[in-house]
Amino acid sequence: MSNCDLCVVRNRAICSSLDAKELEALNAIGRTRKITAGESLIWEGEDSVLVANVIEGVLKLSTNTEDGREQIVGVVYPSDFIGRPFGGTSGHGVTALTDATVCVFSRRDFDAFAREHPALEHKLLERTLGELDRTRRWMLLLGRKSASEKMATFLVEMAERLTGSGCRVDADKPNRRHLTLPFSRQQIADVLGLTIETVSRQFTRLRNEGVIDLPSRRDVTILDYEALIAEAG
């Protein structure tokens, strides 16, 4: 069997539109790569030389100001596509937040393959538009939402995006979810544009109000998912 046959995100990734023969051809130009937490895959401002599908793990998209400050501008999860096909330079760096596995392609090889497979190009367009929608929601979160709304929105997105990997839904209580966050509290603060003290206060407030429980520093049990959605605004 090829790597594509064994891929756990095959039915959700951009290559889901390909048939068995096309998957075999795609597999021939790709390779699986494991990266450790903190390791960079793509560097901001450099030529776009590779693209990748995320198979496991969570990675951040970040950019830096002239004085060296980092701003996390997005987060990618299993089945997401990263990199800039069809040329240009990378507008942001991509770094693993957790240990991760990605399926990497030379950008030139992937471009040539995509041009010969319109269904894949269509999937790329769909993903690009989806990413644009998420970016607009992110702008709203950073620019207009209060600290409490930011935290609630963050947890709702984690629950949605990590379902099947880092999020478990109770079968008998569908309003309850168990999350293992791939972020430290400092990273959450960086993502949301808050201080770590504000993040800790918001976690404590949500726990005291019975919306969540905090079994450990990285584990969150959402006790009332509908209340959390309402909190997110």
Q: What is the pLDDT of residues 115-126, one digit of tens each?
A: 888 888 888 888
Residue type at position 14:
I
> Which of 39, 71, 41 lies closest to 53 in space, CA to CA?
41
Superfamily grouping for domain 3-142: Jelly Rolls (2.60.120.10)
Domain locations along the chain: 3-142, 145-232
Global pTM? 0.77
Percent of the chain with pLDDT over 90: 28
Q: Identify the architecture of domain 145-232 in CATH.
A: Orthogonal Bundle (1.10)
- Strands 177-180 and 219-222: what pairing? antiparallel
Q: From edge to edge, which strands make up the β-sheet containing 50-56? A: 30-35, 100-106, 50-56, 81-83
